[in-house]
Amino acid sequence: MTRPLIIALALLALRQAPADDPLREWADYARGPGGIELREWMRCVTHASLTGSECKRPAPAGIPRYYGKLGLFVTFQKGSRVRGCFGAFHHVSDDAVLTLKEYIGGALYADPRHSPLDIAELEDTAIILTVADEPVSVEDINRVDFSRHGLMIQFESGERLVLVPSEIKSWDRLNRLLGSRTIVQCEIFRALTIR
């Protein structure tokens, strides 16, 4: 089987996800009351982290499975600018609350591409959770729908760059992010964006 055919079949399979697909679980959760609780809780945790206080809001119940199956990434976006993004495909903990708290802190303080968010900016900043499937190789990123897929790129230098859909936005933006670095491997992943 040729590589382009494998990629086409992989993309077709992504569109026809089975009922037990963990991304489908997250999509159902995000549309319901759990998704609202999760978004409000993430904003409370972010506020607490920025002010050095404690979030008194209880963590949402029933957060879908992710450990060993899905990546989680937290992104802060103010207007059209990303102000921080942090996450992983493979996690230290299977406790969603601890994992999300760690990734919120990472997006606030550990993303070297962006200056840290200030408390005065929080009200106007979207807090985005991207739930991601495992990456699959792709040879032609020109055929990728970046509203539903993220991108993982490895450069000749060994550096890896993971971009969730909310970071890509346009081909111009993607080209600016990539710069003149030589790409040696490109993978895409299905992504569910919760904002």
Q: For residues 107 and 87, what is the distance between their CA atoms, to the nearest angstrom? A: 8
Entry pTM: 0.84
User: What is the reported pLDDT for 5?
Assistant: 29
Which run of H or of E encompasses 98? helix 96-109
Question: In this prediction, what percent of the chain has a pLDDT beyond 90?
Answer: 65
Of 17, 46, 45, nearest to 131 (Cα)? 17
What is the pLDDT confidence band of residue 180, given thresholds at 50, 70 and 90?
A: confident
Cβ contacts of 172 within 8 Å, gap of 6 or more? none
User: What is the reported pLDDT for 176?
Assistant: 85
pLDDT tens per residue, range 52-109? 999 999 999 999 999 989 999 999 999 988 999 999 999 999 999 999 999 999 999 9
pLDDT tens per residue, range 161-175? 899 998 887 788 888
Where is average pLDDT lowest: 1-10, 102-111, 114-123?
1-10
